[in-house]
């Protein structure tokens, strides 16, 4: 008889021989776990290159997937229990069973999913498979772990959501989103089902209530703000109006009724400012409190036609949310509401605390926390408000419109910030959407793993990412990613760059100068020479596409800077776009304009050729400059001046 136990390990596969068969239990409900079971079989066969037997009692070891709905396991918790004859994956629901399967595949076979699509999938060819005799019990540290790909946005189009923008306007196939969601599931993101984001425009649509009930909306600059803006910004509620909680409660209850699986429903106000200035609201609003850091970093007020509001709104916001929560709990006692602790409601309230069934989602930009001043300020705000929010969530901005889509790597900050959030009591986490995996994919990968287990080391995860993903070129790739991360750190999240730029984004030419980019290009070229096999080469080429994006963007900015400098010298106008000060471009300078326009054309051609490939985030590259850069004031101005010059030449 062959000994299948070796030093407390069960030998499942050795010498080309399979020693186990898969069973799915209980038989009547096995169909519910057919997908995680198929994932297990599929990847076992890919790695071992053999057919995996199922429901065959002749094999000495049983590998069981047991859907145990009677278990006292928490929602996403699972157990992998094993002895010399059996390995049991025990979970109370399908999502937890997926988690168990992926945990096993990662730890038993070294399988990884670095980014969406085939090139991001790592399935080592294995000649042996064993598992330790043990009882492993796992659950995530954060109960909600989301990289969002949904929600209202603004930009070229009014009243449109993120997913529709990508699919209907940018023409990305639905497979892009489904590939991303598959990657997220395999990296054990998920948890609660949450309808989040700014919801006031759905709760009280302007076309329904704007004329009939203008009193529902904020009183701003002497009148009710009840004219449609863009479906996401302004048109805030008048929180002293006693009918507002009823509207919000009715909306939340309708959502819970239509989707019984929904755990959390947002009643958050719209984005931007426009605080109600009616006498009753002003009486309930504290005068102290200016939300500078986050407002400046997100630039969410740009294009809204409003200025930043003053005053601490937290008490009045909490009072409204508690009133809504009390009404909703009568019909749906096990459900939660969500509000955004954003802008002027990020300050600790004087009196009110949130009810347990209201998630307060604190908005913060973790990538900025290398700046010590911002870190101290944000930590103070978070610690203070966490005392009044028993159900604390975090909303992050790993992607944001103020900075263009560009390399921003900060693995250490992910580790530090997640632990800071956790220690403040946060158990729910979501980020703004971002699918630029060739640029900032290491952030997303490390984030997913640390949201499950915050005690993991970000550095060790990056090392694993490079060793598993790039083989013999792992050292070059570690250097590549670490160099970008170090740049972000040494410039304190790009806050310690020179201020002498006519446009903020041109600071990127200082953040990533040509010498720095040339060194990164050399690392990638060396990496390609060191590896054999198309899998490793394809992954390096994928990362190199992300590098080409940043290099092209920085070059376009650098060429545009050359136009500015030749016309202005080193001193620039304080205006955001100082083109109005440039009335005429001399003949001997026009070649620089052509060179800058050529650089922008190369950049946008790259965008068109590589859309929908997870190289960059398709939405964010088009967000501020418009689709294919059609709204970019700088490019428009360059073209206008070139056209004016050519017209003069023809006269």
For the chain, the first-to-last Cα distance in angstroms comes to 98
Q: How far apart are CA 398 and CA 405, in angstroms?
A: 10
Indicate whether 129 and 200 sit together in one domain: no
Q: What are phi and psi of 619, to 5 degrees?
A: -70, -50
Indicate whether 133 and 200 sit together in one domain: no
Question: In the 8-state DSSP scheme, what is residue 384?
Answer: H
Asked whether residue 509 is assigned to any structural domain, the reply reads no
Q: Is the pLDDT of residue 173 over 70?
A: yes
Indicate whether 203 and 131 sit together in one domain: no
| Bond from prior residue into 424 cis (ω within 30 degrees of 0) | no
Out of 135-144, 154-163, 274-283, least confident range: 154-163
- Strand duo 223-224 + 219-220: pairing: antiparallel
Query: Tell me: the pLDDT tens digits for 374-384?
Result: 999 999 999 99
**Closest to 429 in 3D by CA, of 205, 191, 217:** 191
- The pLDDT of 371-400, averaged and rounded, is 94
Question: In the 8-state DSSP scheme, what is residue 135?
Answer: E
Q: Which of helix, strand or coil describes residue 18?
A: strand
Q: How confident is the model at residue 3 (pLDDT cuts 50, 70, 90)?
A: very low
Total domain count, the chain: 2
Indicate whether 110 and 242 sit together in one domain: no
Residue 220 belongs to domain spanning: 196-355
Q: Is the pLDDT of residue 154 over 70?
A: no
Query: Tell me: the pLDDT tens digits for 80-108?
Result: 999 999 999 999 999 999 999 999 999 99
Q: How confident is the model at residue 290 (pLDDT cuts 50, 70, 90)?
A: low
Q: Is the pLDDT of residue 471 over 60?
A: yes
Asked whether residue 465 is assigned to any structural domain, the reply reads no
Half-sphere exposure of 17 (CA within 13 A, CB side): 9
Q: Is the pLDDT of residue 43 over 90?
A: yes
- The pLDDT of 308-333, averaged and rounded, is 90
Residue length, the chain?
651
Indicate whether 324 and 208 sit together in one domain: yes
Q: Is the pLDDT of residue 597 over 80?
A: yes
Per-residue model confidence (pLDDT) at position 306: 37
Asked whether residue 271 is assigned to any structural domain, the reply reads yes
As a whole-number percent, the residues of the chain with pLDDT over 90 amount to 73
Per-residue model confidence (pLDDT) at position 307: 39
Structure tokens at 591: 């070649």
Indicate whether 344 and 238 sit together in one domain: yes
Give the CATH number for residue 64: 3.30.379.10
Indicate whether 342 and 204 sit together in one domain: yes
| Bond from prior residue into 26 cis (ω within 30 degrees of 0) | yes
Per-residue model confidence (pLDDT) at position 297: 54
Last residue of a domain, one of 317, 332, 355: 355
Indicate whether 281 and 351 sit together in one domain: yes
Out of 116-120, 387-391, 488-492, 493-497, least confident range: 493-497
Q: With beta carbons less than 8 A apart as the criterion, state whether 40 and 104 touch.
A: yes
Indicate whether 110 and 201 sit together in one domain: no
Per-residue model confidence (pLDDT) at position 5: 54
Cβ-based neighbour number of residue 171 at 10 Å: 10
Enumerate the β-bridge partners of residue 62: 21, 86
Query: Tell me: the pLDDT tens digits for 614-648?
Result: 999 998 898 888 889 999 988 998 898 888 777 77
Q: With beta carbons less than 8 A apart as the criterion, state whether 359 and 336 touch.
A: yes
Q: What is the pTM of this model?
A: 0.93
Q: With beta carbons less than 8 A apart as the criterion, state whether 633 and 613 touch.
A: no
Last residue of a domain, one of 355, 376, 396: 355
Query: Tell me: the pLDDT tens digits for 201-221?
Result: 999 999 999 999 999 999 999
Asked whether residue 468 is assigned to any structural domain, the reply reads no
Asked whether residue 315 is assigned to any structural domain, the reply reads yes
Q: Using the structure block, give the residue that is written with the tokens 């006269």.
A: 651
Per-residue model confidence (pLDDT) at position 568: 60
Taking only Cα atoms into account, the Rg of the chain, rounded to an integer number of angstroms, comes to 27
Q: How confident is the model at residue 583 (pLDDT cuts 50, 70, 90)?
A: low
Indicate whether 310 and 223 sit together in one domain: yes
Asked whether residue 366 is assigned to any structural domain, the reply reads no
Asked whether residue 631 is assigned to any structural domain, the reply reads no
Q: Is the pLDDT of residue 613 over 50?
A: yes
| Residue-averaged pLDDT of the chain | 90
Indicate whether 132 and 205 sit together in one domain: no
Last residue of a domain, one of 333, 355, 377: 355
Indicate whether 132 and 208 sit together in one domain: no
Asked whether residue 397 is assigned to any structural domain, the reply reads no
């Amino acid at each position: 008889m062959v000994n299948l136990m070796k030093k407390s390990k069960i030998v499942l596969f050795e010498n080309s021989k399979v020693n186990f068969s898969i069973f799915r239990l209980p038989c009547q409900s096995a169909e519910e776990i057919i997908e995680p079971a198929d994932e297990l079989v599929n990847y076992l066969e890919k790695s071992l290159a053999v057919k995996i037997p199922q429901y065959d009692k002749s094999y000495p070891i049983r590998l069981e997937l047991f859907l145990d709905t009677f278990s006292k396991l928490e929602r996403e918790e699972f157990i992998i229990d094993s002895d010399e004859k059996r390995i049991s994956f025990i979970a109370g629901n399908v999502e937890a069973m997926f988690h168990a399967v992926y945990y096993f595949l990662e730890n038993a076979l070294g399988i990884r999913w670095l980014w969406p699509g085939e090139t991001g999938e790592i399935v080592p060819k294995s000649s042996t498979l064993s598992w330790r005799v043990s009882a492993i019990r796992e659950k995530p540290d954060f109960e909600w772990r989301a990289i969002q790909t949904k929600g209202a946005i603004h930009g070229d189009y009014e009243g449109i959501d993120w997913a529709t923008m990508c699919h209907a306007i940018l023409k990305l196939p639905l497979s892009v989103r489904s590939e991303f969601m598959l990657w997220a599931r395999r990296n054990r993101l998920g948890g609660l089902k949450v309808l989040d984001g700014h919801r006031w425009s759905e709760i009280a649509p302007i076309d329904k209530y704007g004329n009939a009930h203008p009193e529902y909306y904020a009183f701003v600059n002497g009148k009710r703000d009840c004219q449609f803006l863009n479906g996401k910004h302004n048109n805030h509620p008048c929180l002293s109006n006693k009918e507002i909680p009823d509207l919000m409660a009715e909306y939340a209850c309708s959502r819970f009724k239509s989707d019984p699986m929904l755990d959390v429903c947002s009643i958050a106000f719209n984005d931007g400012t426009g605080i109600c200035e009616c006498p009753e609201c002003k009486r309930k609003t504290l005068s102290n409190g200016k939300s500078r850091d986050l407002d400046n970093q997100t630039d969410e007020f740009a294009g809204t036609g409003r200025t930043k509001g003053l005053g601490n709104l937290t008490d009045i916001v909490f009072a409204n949310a508690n009133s809504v929560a009390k009404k909703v709990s009568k019909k749906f006692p096990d459900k939660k509401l969500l509000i955004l602790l954003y802008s002027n409601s990020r300050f600790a309230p004087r009196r009110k605390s949130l009810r347990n069934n209201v998630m307060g989602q604190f908005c913060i930009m973790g990538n900025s926390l290398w700046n010590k001043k911002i870190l101290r300020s944000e930590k103070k705000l978070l610690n203070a408000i966490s005392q009044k929010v028993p159900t604390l969530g975090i909303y992050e901005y790993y992607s944001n419109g103020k900075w263009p889509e560009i390399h921003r790597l900060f693995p250490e900050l992910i580790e530090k910030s997640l632990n800071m959030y956790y220690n403040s009591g946060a158990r729910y986490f979501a980020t703004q959407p971002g699918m630029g995996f060739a640029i900032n994919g290491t952030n997303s990968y490390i984030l997913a793993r640390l949201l499950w287990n915050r005690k993991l080391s970000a550095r060790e995860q990056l090392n694993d990412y490079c060793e598993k993903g790039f083989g013999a070129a792992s050292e070059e790739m570690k250097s590549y990613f670490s160099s970008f991360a170090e740049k972000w750190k040494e410039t304190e999240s790009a806050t310690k760059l020179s201020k002498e730029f006519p446009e903020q984004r041109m600071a990127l030419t200082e953040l990533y100068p040509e010498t720095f980019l040339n060194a990164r290009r050399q690392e990638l070229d060396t990496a390609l020479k060191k590896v054999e096999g198309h899998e490793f080469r394809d992954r390096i080429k994928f990362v190199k596409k992300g590098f080409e994006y940043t290099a092209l963007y920085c070059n376009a900015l650098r060429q545009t800077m050359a136009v500015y400098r030749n016309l202005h010298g080193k001193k620039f106008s304080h205006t955001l776009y100082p083109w109005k000060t440039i009335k005429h471009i001399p003949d001997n300078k026009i070649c620089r304009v052509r060179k800058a326009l050529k650089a922008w054309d190369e950049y946008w051609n790259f965008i068109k050729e590589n859309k929908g490939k997870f190289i960059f985030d398709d939405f964010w590259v088009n967000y501020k400059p418009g689709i294919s850069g059609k709204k970019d004031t700088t490019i428009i101005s360059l073209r206008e001046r070139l056209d004016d010059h050519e017209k003069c030449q023809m006269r």
